[in-house]
Amino acid sequence: MDDAARRLLQRLVRRIPAQTLKTTLDKWGRLKAAQRQSMDFTQSKWALTEKLLAICEENELTLKHIAELEMIHVIENPDRSMWYALQLMDPEDDAHSVELTQFKEQFKSHLSELVRHVSIKIKKHTDEAVWIRIAWGDSFSRPNHLKPTYVVHHLQTPYVFVTGLTSKLKLLLTQALVLSTRHQAIKDASLSGRKLTAIRDLLMRQYQQVFPTKYPSPLAESNQNATNPLIDKEQAELSANRHQMACEAFGSGMLPQLQSAVYKLETKFRDHMNKTMTEREEPLKCVVKFASTSLLESLRHCASSGIASTPVTPLLSSIPLKGRNYFVITDNGPGPSSQTRQPQN
Amino acid sequence: MEAASTKGVLSHLSLLEVQARSRRSRPQQQSRVTELKAKVEALKVQKEQLEAEIQTHQNLQKLRSSLDKQCADEDDVEMEEDSENSELLRLMARHTQLKDLLHAHHLIGGYDVIKTRQGKGVCVSLATAYEGVYLDTYNLEIDLKPAVRISRHNIPPFIPVNSLAKENNMQTHMRAFLDALSQHLNAFAGRKQELKLLKEQHKSVEVMESNVLCSILVLMFTVPKEKTAVLCTLDYIDHSSCLPKRVHLECEDKQLPDSPQWKKNCSLLMETPVHTALTAMRKVGDIV
C-alpha cells in the first residue's frame, strides 16, 4: 500500500460514523472472516485505522480497493455534499438504446482520451442508478483520490447529478458524458441541493403531483365542528380551495426536500419617491434567497394557510414545475428566465 | 367352536385377536361418522349460501337489465319493494353498470378530460393497464389558449412527451398525440409489470441488467443437464410495445444458440410476454 492509499483510508475511517463502519466494511467484502472478527469496533477511530491499515497491508489491497470502500460509503450517504443537476440535450437516434456495458466502455475511453491521468470507477446501484467516481490528475501528476468527483446518472434519462466538480474539470466531464450517452449538448439544470434524493425525485417526477380532477377532493369534509356553521362553511370552502391550489402547485404528501431557492433580480428600480434610484440606467441587482429544511413543504403551507396568495405565483410554482431552484429575473422576459451557473467546489 | 377345535388353539387365538381389534376400532369409526356428518352439514350450509348468492346475482342481473332499459328509454320507473335490501341491490347494480361503462370507455380509447382555467385549458388523465390490472395513471395539463402547449405533467422524463407531441402534430391532431402517448405509457407500464412478474415467478432466472425504461433486459438461464449458463438479451427497440424486437443469446456452448430448440425459444420470447415464455421454456425443460 502506498502513501496515497494510506491517507485515503485514514480520512475515510475518520469520516464514516463508528456505528456504520462495520456494515460498510461488510459490504466492501475485502476482509477475511477471521480479520472481520478480530476488529473491535468499540475501540477509538485511531486504533481502528491502525488495525485496518495493517489488515489492508496484509491482504495487499491497493488504492483501487480503498476507493471502492469510499464509493460504498458515499452511495449509502449521498447527502453530505452539494449536488448539482445537469441536463443532457438533443439526443441522437440511438440514445435510448445505450446500455450499461457500452456506456461504461465509452465513458472510460472518452475521458481517458481527454485527461492523461484519471482514475474512473463505475458501479450500478440497486435503483438502476449508475454511480461514477472520478479521481482527477493532469499530464504531470497522478490522480488525486482525496478530491474525487461523483456523478450519478440514470441511463435513458436526460439528467445527470454531480458533486465535487470544479469548473475547470466540468468541461472535460460533460464532454465525456455527452459522447457516451449519445447526446449533442449538455446544460446546467439550475437545480442544486444537499439532498441527492430530493433533486432526483423532483426532476424524475417521483413525488405525488396533484391535478384537477372531476371528483371533489375529500379534503373539503374535514373540520366541520365550530360555532357558526354558516361562517364555518364559507371559510372551509375557501380554505379547501386554497389547499387544492397549493397542492396543485407543489404536490401532495411528502415533497422532495429542497433546502433553498435563489432568485437573482436584474430589474429596474421603480419607486416614485426615490427619483435618483428610479432614473438610473443600469438595473438594480439583488438576490433573494429562500431557505428551509424543506422549502417546498414550507411554500405549500404558506399558500394553503393563506400567508401567500393563491393561485400561487409562477415565481414560486416554477420551482417544481421546471425542476429548478435558481432563477435570474430580468425586465425583458415575461416569466422567470435563467442563466447558467457554474457549480463550484 | 367346532372350527377352532379342528384347526387348533393358535388359530382360535388369532381369531379372538382379530375380533378384539375390530371392537377397539369401532369407536374410531364412530368418530369418523360424526366427522362426516359435520362435513355434510357444513357443505349443506355452503350450498345454501351459494344458492343465496346465485339468487342475489340473478336479482342483480334482472335489476341491471331493467336499469339498462331505463337508461335507454329515459323512463323513470320506480322500483317495487322498497326494503333495505332492494336499495342495496339497486346500488350494487348501478355500481356494476358504472364499472362496465368505465371499462368500455377505456376500451374505445376514451380519455378523462376536464376543463381548467375557465375553459382555457384541459387536464387529461391517461390510465395504464396490463392484462386487466389497472396500473399508474398519468396526467397532462394542456393550455389551449393562446396556443396549444403542455404546461404540466407527471410523466417520467424517459418518455419522450415533447417529441411525441411534435411528431404527431399536437396543435391540430390532439387525438393522435394522446393515442401515441397512451401507447408508450401502456407499453412502459406493461414492461415494468412483466419484469415484476418475472422476478416473482422465476426465482431461478437471474436478472443481470435492466434499466428504468425497462427497454433492455439481460437474463441468465441455466440449462438443467449440463448446468451451462445462457445469457439472454432482450432488446425492446420499439418503446411502444411490450414485446422485444431482438433476442440475443450468448453461451459457452457455441452450438446452443443455433439449435432448433433454442431458435424456437427465441421466437417464443419475441412473441409472448417474457414471464409466460419462461414458464413455457421451463415446462419443456430447457431452463431450470
Q: Is residue A209 domain-resident?
A: no
Kindly list the residues from chain B whose CB atom is less than 8 angstroms away from the CB atom of residue A211.
Answer: 123, 125, 139, 141, 152, 154
Fold of B202-283: Enolase-like; domain 1 (3.30.390)
Taking residues B90-118, report their average pLDDT: 79
Residues of chain A with pLDDT under 50: 217-224, 226, 333-345
Query: Considering the domain boundaries, does residue A344 fall inside one?
Result: no
What is the predicted pLDDT for the residue at A84?
Answer: 95
Options 1.10.10, 3.30.1400, 3.30.457, 3.30.870; which CATH number does B112-189 get?
3.30.457
Grid cell of A124 as nine digits = 450500478
Task: Quick: pLDDT tens for B41-81.
Answer: 999 999 999 999 998 888 888 888 887 777 666 544 445 55
Instruction: Give the per-residue pLDDT at A333.
Output: 46
Q: Do A155 and B155 touch (CB under 8 A)?
A: no
Q: Do B154 and A209 touch (CB under 8 A)?
A: yes
CA-based nearest residue to A173, from A94, A233, A114: A114
Closest residue, chain B, to A99 (C-alpha): B216
Min distance B222 CA to chain A CA atoms (Å): 22
Per-residue model confidence (pLDDT) at position B85: 74
| Judgement on whether residues A67 and A88 belong to the same structural domain of the protein | no
Note the pLDDT of residue A339: 41
Residue A162 pairs with which residues in a beta bridge? A84, A151
State which H helix or E strand residue A119 sits in. Answer: strand A118-124
Cα dihedral sign, A212-A213-A214-A215: negative
Is any Cβ of chain B less than 8 angstroms from the Cβ of A37? no
> Is the same domain home to A228 and A318?
yes
- CA dist A169 to A91, A177, A271, Å? 23, 12, 44
Lowest mean pLDDT among A260-274, A286-300, B95-109, B262-276: B95-109
Domain membership of residue A174 (yes or no) is yes
- Asked whether residue A193 is assigned to any structural domain, the reply reads yes
Cβ neighbour number for residue A158 with a 10 Å cutoff: 21
User: Is the Cβ pair A212, B213 closer than 8 Å?
Assistant: no
Q: Are residues A308 and A223 in the same domain?
A: yes
Q: Which of the residues B118, B152, B195, B199 would you substitute to probe the A interface, choosing the one with the greatest number of A C-beta atoms within 10 Å?
A: B152
Nearest CA in chain B to A154: B212
> Does A125 lie at the interface with B, CB-CB under 8 angstroms?
no
Q: Are residues A227 and A326 in the same domain?
A: yes
The domain of A252 spans: 218-330
B84 or B97: which leads in pLDDT: B97
**Per the CB < 8 Å rule, is A97 touching B213?**
no
Q: How many CB atoms lie within 10 A of CB A264?
A: 18
Burial code of B116-153, b = ≥16 C-beta within 10 A, e = fewer? beeeebbbbebbbbbeeeeeebbbbbbbeeeebebebb
Reduce the DSSP state of residue B72 to 3 states and report it. helix
Could you report the predicted ipTM of this complex, rounded to two decimals? 0.78
CB pairs under 8 A between A and B: 63
CA distances (Å), B213 to each of A128, B164, B240, B249, in order?
A: 10, 16, 11, 22
Pick among B111, B123, B158 to test the A interface (most A CBs inside 10 A): B158
Which residue, A13, A44, A76, sits at the end of a domain? A76
Contacts of B237 in chain A (CB under 8 A): 97
In this prediction, residue A344 carries a pLDDT of 34
Per-residue pLDDT, averaged over B158-166, amounts to: 90
- Contact of A99 with chain B, judged by CB distance below 8 Å, is answered with yes
Q: Which residues are CB-neighbours of B147 under 8 A, at least 6 positions away?
A: B171
Cα A118 from Cα B23, distance rounded (Å): 91
**B215 closest CB neighbour out of A96, A212, A213:** A96
A214 contact residues in B (CB cutoff 8 A):
112, 114
A119 and A180 share a domain? yes
pLDDT value, residue A215: 56
pLDDT at site B5: 54
Q: Do B213 and A96 touch (CB under 8 A)?
A: yes
pLDDT at site A53: 92
Interface test with B, best of A100, A156, A248 (most B CBs within 10 A): A156
**Cβ-defined contact of A205 to B237 (cutoff 8 Å):** no
221-280 in chain B: CB under 8 A from chain A:
235, 237, 239
Residue of A90, A96, A241, A322 to mutate, interface with B, max B Cβ within 10 Å:
A96
Nearest CB to A156; choose among B152, B154, B215: B215
pLDDT for residue A214 = 61
Among B123, B211, B212, beta carbon nearest to A212: B123
Contact B158 A211 (CB under 8 A): no
The total number of structural domains that make up chain A: 3
pLDDT of residue A341: 37
Flag if B211 and A159 touch (Cβ within 8 Å): no
- Residue A169 placed within a domain: yes
Least Cα distance to A157 among A105, A199, A192 occurs for: A199
Q: Which residue on chain B is closest to A212 by alpha carbon?
A: B123
Cβ atoms of A329 and A337 within 8 Å: the answer is yes
Domain ranges of chain B: 43-69+84-105, 112-189, 202-283
Task: Give the domain CATH number at A116.
Answer: 3.30.160.690
Query: What are the residues whose beta carbons fall under 8 Å from the beta carbon of B66, sequence distance 6 or more?
Result: none
Among the candidates A76, A93, A128, a domain finishes at A76
The answer to whether B141 faces chain A, any CB pair under 8 Å, is yes
Would you say residue B209 has pLDDT above 90?
A: no
Chain B CA closest to residue A97: B237
> Do residues A238 and A161 both lie within one domain?
no
CB A249 within 8 A of CB A241: no
Among A76, A106, A133, the domain-final residue is A76
Give the nearest partner residue to A156 out of B152, B154, B212, using CB atoms. Answer: B212
Neighbours of A155 (CB within 10 A): 23
The position carrying cell 331493467 is B66
Instruction: Reduce the DSSP state of residue B120 to 3 states and report it.
Output: coil
B211 and A211 in contact by Cβ < 8 A?
Answer: no
Select the residue of A128, A159, A321 nearest B211 (Cβ to Cβ). A128
On whether both A174 and A126 belong to a single domain, the answer is yes
Cβ-Cβ contacts under 8 Å, B141 against chain A? 211-212
Distances, alpha carbon B18 to alpha carbons A25, B32, B64, in Å: 72, 21, 66
Test B139 with A211 for CB contact under 8 angstroms: yes
Please check whether residues A160 and A135 belong to one and the same domain: yes
> pLDDT, tens digit, for every residue of B70-79?
766 654 444 5
Provide the pLDDT for residue A332.
Answer: 66
